[in-house]
Amino acid sequence: MALFVDSSDPKEIKALFSWGSFSGVTTNPLIISRESPGADLAEVIREVLSASTGDVSVELTTESEEEMMAEAVGYHAWDPQRITVKVPFSEVGLRVLHRLRRREVKTNVTCLMAFNQAYLAALSGATYVSLFSGRIRDMGYDARPVIEATRRTLDREGLAARIIVGSIRHLMDVNEALEAGAHVVTAPPDILRKMVWNPRTLETIAEFNEAWRKRSGPR
């Protein structure tokens, strides 16, 4: 299992990667428009690449097949070893995915809300299939059975795609996704920092440190 940082802020990404706990980054147009409004996308992604290690997902924003292919080829050229082209799921997206697979471009099929969608993307050669936990819950469904069914099927059929669970809104979303079989959970910095914090941990550390100070006496 692995954790990715869901952000386009190079400073946040660099700070989090200093923990040694993370192995990739995901971005999307909404995140970039919020965190880096007006910025040049290529420059933002180059800074993200510099601040991190592992795969960095960059999402397509065009809609026709040929436009998406041209955009994908351009992104891939920024760093062929690390750039993962994020392909929005649709019939057009599947055609683009299939063509990118033949070019050996890493892909992350995004905006998946159901098992059948993830299965189609895996069959078409996706490197990653991204299930959106929070948005699945918005529809009134529990995301865990979707993750579990997808993982069972990928394992049973020997499909290479790895499950990324995103749209993480609460700390428990991370725990539940990993327990349900996600290969990767990608979460925003505020959620990742909540994984560190626990009041009982702080109390215990303070208790131990105070006991040691009392033992050692004043200096």
Residue whose token pair is 């809609």: 63
Phi-psi region of 217 (alpha: psi -120 to 50; beta: other; left: phi over 0): left
Residues annotated catalytic, as ranges: 86
Gap between the Cα atoms of 147 and 130, Å rounded:
10
Start-to-end Cα distance in the chain: 47
DSSP 87: E
Are the beta carbons of 192 and 12 closer than 8 angstroms? no
Give the distance, in angstroms, between the CA of residue 187 and the centroid of all CA atoms in the same chain.
7
Identify the CA nearest to 95 among candidates 121, 57, 58. Answer: 121
